[in-house]
């Protein structure tokens, strides 16, 4: 190779480094300008923004997710990643990608698998930001996600948690024409800023962790996440008991649907039925008792910060219904008397998903 070729390669490399440096300098300047504008407009201190991401064998999609976080109109302050023992190249991909970011990426590796809920619990507790964005390994953020959410929290200092809709995409990233809220039949106006948010969320969880953001002050009272709960459901329940939840109608995340994911989404009655059959076995219903006990314990130990004092009187009903549902799925002899009792007492409509839960307990 002659000296001219070497010079061209060197110049091309330097130009690439220059462009990369300019890109991140511009993003940094844009972020500082945004912080200054928010500080002037809302009179608040500049918030540090953390991303809590959990991974497990996510090599196929992890770089695209990281890239979408990089491309934000307002840069984040840090990414904390907790890997649950991946056996593929997930961790090396992250470590290599971290070399080119203007913000730190910290990777924690679990020697023993924790599972989704406990892994996120650990990851969230390691974050140092004022706002925490929980993040899956296989989705894609809209470019203005951080800007939209941070502006909302600046504007509404009483907001403890916010979440948005999600656009559903296929394994190869193509939009399906469906949104998460559409699949759930969720109407955001019923929950947005409602004083009765807990009554809605205890019936069913509509908060998806991939589109959820909350203050670190909420994380301090919600974590560690109790066993039996997924992180998004538990943190949303705690927020509904102690503060205010707001919604963003615009989808801020492209949520990937594929076979390997543990939760996912389902559309239509047949889809919901298949989804229920997949997730709801006997252990699922027995686990409801553990979950109910965690809710009851939280209410009893945080009476002084409940946003609605009448929730103090809910524990006995929550526990009674959980025990009844577990018993229904343990014995056919008890099934119909217990279904009838929970129906006439109204507990199906207060602590569960109404007639859908009656059908569930009758058929599953």
User: Which pair of structure tokens corresponds to residue 56?
Assistant: 């497990």
Report angle CA 3, 1, 14 to the nearest 5 degrees.
60
Coil/strand/helix, residue 120: helix
User: Which pair of structure tokens corresponds to residue 259?
Assistant: 């076979």
Taking the CA of residue 227 as centre, how many other CA atoms within 13 Å lie in the half-sphere pointing to its CB? Answer: 5
pLDDT at 275: 54
Instruction: Give the helix/strand (H/E) hosting 55.
Output: strand 49-55
Check whether 3 has a pLDDT greater than 70.
no
- pLDDT by residue (tens digit) across 265-301? 555 555 555 555 666 666 788 889 999 999 999 999 9
- pLDDT by residue (tens digit) across 40-99? 454 557 899 999 999 999 999 999 999 999 999 999 999 999 999 999 999 999 999 999
* Burial of residue 302 (number of CB atoms within 10 Å: 0-12, 13-18, 19+): middle
Reference 312, options 242, 211, 253, 217; nearest CA is: 242
Reference 229, options 156, 290, 151, 275; nearest CA is: 290
Check whether 191 has a pLDDT greater than 50.
yes
The 3-state DSSP composition of the chain as helix, strand, coil percent (nearest 5) reads 55, 15, 30
- pLDDT by residue (tens digit) across 314-340? 999 999 999 999 999 888 888 999 999
What are residue 268's phi and psi, to 5 degrees? 75, 160
Reference 292, options 269, 262, 326; nearest CA is: 326
Reference 229, options 292, 281, 187; nearest CA is: 292
pLDDT at 278: 60
How far is the CA of 98 from the CAs of 69, 93, 103, 298, in angstroms? 12, 9, 8, 38
Indicate the pTM of the whole model. Answer: 0.85
Superfamily assignment of 47-256 in CATH?
Spore Coat Polysaccharide Biosynthesis Protein SpsA; Chain A (3.90.550.10)
């Amino acid at each position: 190779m002659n000296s001219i070729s070497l010079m061209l390669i060197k110049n091309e490399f330097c130009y690439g480094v220059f462009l990369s440096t300019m890109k991140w300098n511009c993003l940094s300047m844009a972020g500082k300008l945004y912080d200054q504008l928010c500080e002037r407009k809302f009179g608040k201190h500049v918030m540090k923004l953390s991303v809590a991401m959990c991974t497990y064998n996510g090599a196929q999609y992890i770089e695209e997710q990281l890239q979408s976080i990089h491309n934000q109109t307002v840069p984040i302050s840090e990414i904390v990643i907790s890997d649950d023992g991946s056996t593929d190249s997930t961790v090396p991909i992250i470590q290599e990608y971290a070399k080119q970011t203007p913000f730190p990426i910290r990777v924690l590796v679990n020697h023993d698998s924790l599972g989704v809920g406990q892994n996120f619990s650990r990851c969230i507790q390691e974050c140092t930001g004022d706002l925490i964005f929980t993040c899956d390994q296989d989705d894609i953020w809209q470019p203005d996600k951080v800007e939209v959410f941070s502006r909302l929290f600046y504007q509404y200092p009483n907001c403890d948690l916010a979440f948005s809709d999600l656009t559903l995409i296929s394994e190869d990233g193509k939009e399906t024409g469906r949104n998460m809220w559409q699949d759930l039949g969720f109407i955001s106006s019923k929950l947005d800023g409602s004083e009765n948010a807990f009554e809605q969320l205890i019936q069913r969880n509509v908060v998806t962790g991939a589109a959820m953001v909350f203050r670190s002050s909420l994380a301090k009272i919600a974590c560690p996440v109790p066993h039996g709960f997924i992180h998004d459901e538990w943190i949303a329940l705690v927020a509904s008991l102690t503060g205010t939840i707001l919604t963003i109608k615009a989808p801020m995340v492209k949520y990937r649907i594929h076979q390997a994911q543990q939760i996912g989404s389902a559309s239509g009655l047949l889809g919901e039925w298949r989804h229920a059959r997949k997730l709801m076995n006997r252990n699922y219903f027995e686990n409801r008792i553990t979950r109910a006990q965690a809710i009851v314990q939280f209410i009893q130990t945080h009476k002084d910060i409940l946003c609605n004092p009448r929730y103090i009187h809910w524990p006995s009903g929550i526990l009674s219904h959980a025990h009844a549902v577990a018993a229904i799925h343990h014995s056919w002899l008890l099934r119909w008397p217990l279904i009838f009792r929970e129906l006439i007492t109204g507990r199906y409509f207060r602590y569960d998903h109404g007639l859908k839960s009656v059908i569930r307990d009758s058929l599953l």
